[in-house]
Structure 1
Amino acid sequence: MRHIKKMIGSLLFLAISISSCNSQPSQIQTPTDTLPIHIQRFDKALLQFIETQDTALEQELLKEYPAMLEITGKGILNLQSPAVPGFFDQLVTYYSEPTLKNLYEDAVHEYQDVSDIESQLGKGFAFLKANFPDMQVPACYMHVSGFNQNVLAADSLLSLSIDKYMGETYPLYQDFFYDYQRIKMQRPLVAADYLAGWLMSEYPFEGNENVLLDRMIYEGIIKYIVHLALPEITPAQLMGYKEKDYAWCTANELTLWNTIIQRKHLYTPDQLTTSKYLDDKPCTFLSDETPGNIGTWIGWQIVSSYMKENNVSLQTLMQQQNAQELLSQAKYKP
Structure 2
Amino acid sequence: MKRLLKYFNVYVFSGSIFLIILFLNACKQTDKTSEEISNVQIDLDIYRFDREFAAASPGSIPDLKSKYPYLFPSQFPDSIWIAKLTDTIQVELSDEVEKAFGDFEEETNDLESLFQHITYYFPKFKTPKVVTVTSDVRYNDRVILADTLLMLGLDNYLGADHHFYKSIQRYIAAGLDKQYLTSDVASAIAKKVLKYPRNRSFLSRMVYYGKELYIKDKVLPSISDAQKIGYTLEEMEWSMNNEEQIWRYFVEKELLYSTDAKLDRRFLDPAPFSKFQLELDSESPGRLGRYMGWQIVKAFMEKNNLTLKQLLNLPADEIFKKSNYKPRK
What TM-score bracket applies, with the shorter chain setting the length?
0.7 to 0.9
Residues 29, 127 of structure 1: 8 Å contact kept: no
1:37 paired residue among 30, 40, 44:
44
Structure having greater relative contact order (Cα 8 Å, sep ≥ 6): 1
Q: Which residue of 1 aligns with 2:173?
A: 182
Tell me which amino acid in the other structure corresponds to 1:57: S
How far did 1:302 drift? 1.0
**Mapping 1:62-141, distance limit 5 Å:** 62-67=65-70, 69=71, 82=73, 84-86=74-76, 88=78, 98-99=88-89, 101-141=91-131
What is the aligned length? 293
Distance 1:123 1:87, change over 3 A: same
Tell me which amino acid in the other structure corresponds to 1:332: Y
Distance 1:125 1:271, change over 3 A: same
How far did 1:297 drift? 0.8
Distance 1:97 1:215, change over 3 A: farther
Residues 61, 82 of structure 2: 8 Å contact kept: no
Structure 2: distance between partners of 1:265 and 1:36: 45
Give SS of 1:249's match. Answer: helix
Give SS of 1:312's match. Answer: coil
How far did 1:328 drift? 1.8
How far did 1:126 drift? 0.9
Q: Which residue of 2 aligns with 1:9?
A: none
Tell me which amino acid in the other structure corresponds to 2:106: D
Distance 1:89 1:301, change over 3 A: farther
Structure 1: distance between partners of 2:47 and 2:61: 17
Q: Which residue of 2 aligns with 1:146?
A: 136
Task: Give a deviation string over 1:174-232, Cα, whole Å, max 9, x none.
Answer: 22231x333322222212222221222x2253314964323222222222222332222
Give SS of 1:172's match. Answer: helix
2:271 paired residue among 264, 280, 296:
280
Is 1:199 the counterpart of 2:205? The answer is no
Q: Which residue of 1 aligns with 2:63?
A: 60
Residues 131, 314 of structure 1: 8 Å contact kept: yes
Structure 2: distance between partners of 1:250 and 1:232: 20
Give SS of 1:153's match. Answer: strand
Give SS of 2:158's match. Answer: coil
Residues 210, 274 of structure 1: 8 Å contact kept: no
Residues 224, 303 of structure 1: 8 Å contact kept: yes
2:324 paired residue among 313, 324, 331:
331
Tell me which amino acid in the other structure corresponds to 2:208: Y
Distance 1:269 1:100, change over 3 A: farther
Distance 1:85 1:122, change over 3 A: closer
Identity %: 25
2:261 paired residue among 265, 271, 285:
271
Q: CA RMSD in A?
A: 3.0
Give SS of 1:106's match. Answer: helix
Structure 2: distance between partners of 1:209 and 1:62: 45
Q: Which ranges of structure 1 fall in alignment gaps of 5 or more residues?
A: 1-18, 74-81
Is 1:314 the counterpart of 2:308? The answer is yes
Distance 1:23 1:183, change over 3 A: farther
Distance 1:199 1:276, change over 3 A: same
1:262 paired residue among 229, 252, 257:
252
TM-score (norm 1): 0.76
Distance 1:95 1:147, change over 3 A: farther
Task: Give a deviation string over 1:137-174, Cα, whole Å, max 9, x none.
Answer: 11112122223211211111112211111012212222
Q: Which residue of 1 aligns with 2:163?
A: 171
Give SS of 2:150's match. Answer: strand
TM-score (norm 2): 0.78
Tell me which amino acid in the other structure corresponds to 1:299: G
1:293 paired residue among 287, 297, 306:
287
Tell me which amino acid in the other structure corresponds to 1:44: R
